[in-house]
Amino acid sequence: MRKFIVLGIWNGGQTRHQDYFPQKPYESLQQIQKDTISAQLQRAGRTTGLFQPKSDSYLKFIVEELKPYIDNKYSVYTDSKNTFIAGSSMGGLISLYAICEYTQVFGGATCLSTHWVGTFTLVNNPFPNSMLNYLSNNLPNPKNHKLYFDCGGQTLDALYPLIQNGVDSIMNPK
């Protein structure tokens, strides 16, 4: 029997959306597209001003502070083959971003009900295409990285399958 530990990171509450929103796909957008996302997130109560993701700092904290602390404090395997990241909704989105940005740290990611839309609508939303473009250039090698996706089809999850199909096409080109 293989033993493992699960570490749950408390989210930042009001900063959760900023912490989990993939920064590089967002930064690749034109200013008018960023303004659209800001407006959509303002309407949803996720930001009060101009939205600015801080996910690169959040991931840096995990990789450079939290993981080394765990690796030193506990008897764990520290290699990427034994280090996975997982989350649901925005947590699924940041988990996928983490495995793309830190392929040498994370060997797998579980992404449940991945919040592909970033905001809360598909209408006039530039983020899904930006994320698909990012993934087409940054997904890690499937020979040594594992990805698991799952989502429902009701309520907010009803927005996800179309984009998930695009991600599946990138991962498994015909």
Q: What is the CA radius of gyration of the chain?
A: 16
Query: Does some domain include residue 42?
Result: yes
Can you give the pLDDT at residue 5? Answer: 87
Mean pLDDT in the chain?
Answer: 94
Query: Does some domain include residue 74?
Result: no
Residue 50: closest CA among 25, 20, 18, 24: 18
Residue partners of 78: CB distance under 8 A and separation at least 6: 71
Query: Does some domain include residue 44?
Result: yes
Query: Does some domain include residue 123?
Result: yes
pTM to 2 decimal places:
0.95
Query: Does some domain include residue 10?
Result: no
Helices (H) and strands (E) in the chain, counts: 8, 3
Given a cut of 90, whether residue 174 has pLDDT beyond it is no
Number of domains within the chain? 1
- For the segment 138-156, the average pLDDT, to the nearest whole number, is 94
